[in-house]
Structure 1
Amino acid sequence: MNSEKKRLIIWSVAISLLLLAVKFYSFYITRSNAILTDAMESIVNVVASCFALYSIYLSALPKDSNHPYGHGKIEFFSAGIEGTLIIIAGIFIIYQAILGFIFPQELTDLPMGMALVGFSGLVNGFLGYLLQKKGKLLNSITLEADGRHLSTDAISSFVLIAGIGIIYFSGWIFLDNIISMAFAIYIIYNGYFLVRRSVAGLMDESNPEAINQTVEILNRNRKSNWIDIHNMRVQQYGGDSHIDLHLTLPYYFDLIQVHDEVHEVEEVLEQGLPGYVEVFVHADPCLPDSCCHYCQVKDCHVRKYPRSKKVKWTAYNMSKNQKHYHELSQFFADKP
């Protein structure tokens, strides 16, 4: 898996370097600030891809005494660096556009510039789509971030061609700086969301997508002996996941039975979720006075009360640090 990540990022670096040269040559022959916008973003592509390559190498290192959860969070840091570079590039482009308004320059050889930008857009579009697809498949935020950036670059390149075409046929040179400022705002907007996602990952902010996926897997494989799951936490370390949860089991189970049920929960999550998954399960005994109302165990010889409801496991109630009998208490309190 990690070798495929490295291979994809190496291709990204190589192609980004080639397109960087193409775009700056396009700017050189046209003197267009709008094309400079595209060229500046390519510098970000190269730097970000190089950092992404290093982060993938680092995230693949095994756990050690200083990093008991591995090195996967470097991928969040990589995405944050890429987002920050995009924002800086956008600010520089706005500065260049303002200078263009004050000191306008004549634009030359626009058709050739459009052709070069179009070629770059096609290549970036294909590479961006591939990286995003592989990033989701390999559960790599670094590949996804790099792919999203390249896809954004491709879209901006094609819109840029349309803008330059208008300038070429109308002769309205002032549009060059307006277009470059519009693109600068657009890439700053995209950079912000990359930084936002990076900070969320580094701060262990809850990821609704990861939690919902975990809940779905547990519901799909739910067993009657799993009376209750609560206090569940899902943390991501790059492409890896760490899950803590409390599992309520019948209190009369012996240690071997408890071990087998815990192991099955771990196995279900490890096989159902992408990447490396580490699961810590704390086993709780059931409380007959509280749990019988929603316990799904059939022919239970210690049952005190008949089963009255099946609690639906959701991301909301499974994350609470309490058994689901609180939910049942409210259910009975609401009944007339």
Structure 2
Amino acid sequence: MTLQKRATVVSTSVAALLTLMKLVIGIASGSVAVLASAVDSVLDMFVSIFNYFAISNSEKPADKTFNYGRGKVEALASVIEGTIITISGLFLLYQAGRKAIDGSVSQYMDISIVVMILSMFITIFLVMFLNKIAKKTNSMVIKADALHYKTDVYSNAAVLISLLLVNFTGYEIIDVIVGGAIALFIIYSAYELIHDGVLVLLDRAVDDEIVLGIEKVIRNNDRVNTYHLLKTREAGHQTFVEVHLVFDCIITLMDAHRATDDIERRIKKLDEKRDWVINIHMDPYDDFSMDEK
């Protein structure tokens, strides 16, 4: 089992545990804040399960149907995950408004506080684990999962503070306000997931720092006269690079090929964690500038 799959299995298991803890206490206590956290954990569990299958598909090799592989499944998963998070945030806003109107009172405060303390520490350890895997694999799905659970840490802390304040003051409006604030924060946090996923689906170029590094590698090769049509994009764990290199028309094919091999090797050293797919077209003259004329 790959590191990415292992990470999704761990996050799914943790989400299931947190869901059981929070859902029972949330329903029993009547706390909007705890129930909000419980609903978020339910969604976490299903999202992590979805991520497992997304990663399984993205890791499949290229074939006759998918010539470039299925790496964009991860970006699609990120968009779906962000959408689900947004919907959950809207649902929690509804629950907060409903409690504000009904004026119901929270119960079982002591056990609710204990559950939220445990949930917060469990989630902190999970975020640390997911961040570690994300750095090793550069997986967009795992990065999204880590970001998602990081927002859970903040929401768990807010719920805990809310429960403590309600317990000591008796003001239920605090629970409503905190529950509503968590819902808004959840919606806000989903924007980055949807934004990044959509950009990958639209074949956004890689970071400027990487592009500048690629250009520097090309310019530093004295056999290359110039270059054009440099294109980059990412899909899952793969980074695609395409470029046209212009050589002297009298250079031998062997020498030109050696130069491109050297360039490919140096590009891959820019970030050895990436899975590079580099396609270089060799030109005997700058046909791009001629086409422009």
Of 209, 212, 216, which residue of structure 2 is paired with 1:212? 209
Give, in whole Å, the separation in 2 of the partners of 1:265 and 1:223. Answer: 7
Q: Name the residue aligned to 2:274.
A: 275
Q: Is the 8 A contact 1:248 1:285 kept in 2?
A: yes
Once the two structures are superposed, residues 132-154 of structure 1 have per-residue CA deviations (whole angstroms, 9 ceiling, x without a partner) of: 23213211000000111011101
Q: Name the residue aligned to 2:240.
A: 242
Give, in whole Å, the separation in 2 of the partners of 1:258 and 1:139. Answer: 32
Aligned AA for 2:158?
V
Q: Is the 8 A contact 2:72 2:235 kept in 1?
A: yes
Q: Name the residue aligned to 1:33.
A: 32
Give, in whole Å, the separation in 2 of the partners of 1:255 and 1:38. Answer: 63
Q: Name the residue aligned to 2:148.
A: 149
Of 250, 254, 258, which residue of structure 2 is paired with 1:260? 258
Q: Name the residue aligned to 1:330.
A: none
Q: Name the residue aligned to 2:7.
A: 8
* Comparing 223-232 and 84-93, the one that deviates more: 223-232
Unaligned runs of 5+ in 2: none
List, as ranges, runs of 4+ consecutive aligned residues in structure 1 with deviation greater than 4 Å: none
Give, in whole Å, the separation in 1 of the partners of 2:289 and 2:187. Answer: 43
Query: Secondary structure of 2:2's match?
Result: helix
Q: Is the 8 A contact 2:217 2:266 kept in 1?
A: no
Q: Does 1:223 align with 2:225?
A: no
Q: Please list, as runs of the form range in 1=range in 2, the aligned pairs for 1:30-179 lying within 5 A after superposition.
A: 30-179=29-178
Aligned AA for 1:179?
V
Q: Please list, as runs of the form range in 1=range in 2, the aligned pairs for 1:293-304 lying within 5 A after superposition.
A: none
Give, in whole Å, the separation in 2 of the partners of 1:185 and 1:278. Answer: 40
Give, in whole Å, the separation in 2 of the partners of 1:322 and 1:176. Answer: 65
Give, in whole Å, the separation in 2 of the partners of 1:272 and 1:218. Answer: 11
Q: Is the 8 A contact 1:231 1:322 kept in 2?
A: no
* Comparing 232-241 and 22-31, the one that deviates more: 22-31
Q: Is the 8 A contact 2:221 2:263 kept in 1?
A: no
Query: Secondary structure of 2:61's match?
Result: coil
Give, in whole Å, the separation in 2 of the partners of 1:229 and 1:111. Answer: 68
Q: Is the 8 A contact 1:244 1:280 kept in 2?
A: yes
Aligned AA for 2:261?
H
The share of aligned pairs that are identical, in percent, is 25
Aligned AA for 2:87?
I
Q: Is the 8 A contact 1:79 1:195 kept in 2?
A: yes
| TM-score, reference length from structure 2 | 0.92
Once the two structures are superposed, residues 245-275 of structure 1 have per-residue CA deviations (whole angstroms, 9 ceiling, x without a partner) of: 1223333311111111112222222343333
Give, in whole Å, the separation in 1 of the partners of 2:98 and 2:27. Answer: 17
Give, in whole Å, the separation in 2 of the partners of 1:64 and 1:154. Answer: 41
Give, in whole Å, the separation in 1 of the partners of 2:58 and 2:192. Answer: 22
Q: Name the residue aligned to 1:300.
A: none
Q: Is the 8 A contact 1:218 1:269 kept in 2?
A: no
CA offset at residue 286 of structure 1? 5.5
Q: Is the 8 A contact 1:26 1:117 kept in 2?
A: no
- For the structure 1 residues 268 and 92, does the alpha-carbon distance in structure 2 shift closer, same or farther, using more than 3 Å as the test? same
CA offset at residue 214 of structure 1? 3.9
Larger CA Rg, structure 1 vs 2: 1
How well do the aligned residues superpose, as a CA RMSD in angstroms?
Answer: 2.0
Q: Is the 8 A contact 1:132 1:145 kept in 2?
A: no
Give, in whole Å, the separation in 2 of the partners of 1:228 and 1:147. Answer: 42
Q: Is the 8 A contact 1:62 1:70 kept in 2?
A: yes
Q: Is the 8 A contact 1:125 1:155 kept in 2?
A: no
Give, in whole Å, the separation in 2 of the partners of 1:139 and 1:257. Answer: 34
- For the structure 1 residues 202 and 175, does the alpha-carbon distance in structure 2 shift closer, same or farther, using more than 3 Å as the test? same
| TM-score, reference length from structure 1 | 0.80
Q: Name the residue aligned to 1:299.
A: none
- Counting matched residue pairs gives 288
Once the two structures are superposed, residues 62-96 of structure 1 have per-residue CA deviations (whole angstroms, 9 ceiling, x without a partner) of: 11111000011100011111111100100100111
Once the two structures are superposed, residues 44-74 of structure 1 have per-residue CA deviations (whole angstroms, 9 ceiling, x without a partner) of: 1001100000011111111111100001110
Unaligned runs of 5+ in 1: 288-320, 324-336
Q: Please list, as runs of the form range in 1=range in 2, the aligned pairs for 1:179-190 lying within 5 A after superposition.
A: 179-190=178-189
Q: Is the 8 A contact 1:32 1:176 kept in 2?
A: yes
CA offset at residue 283 of structure 1? 1.9
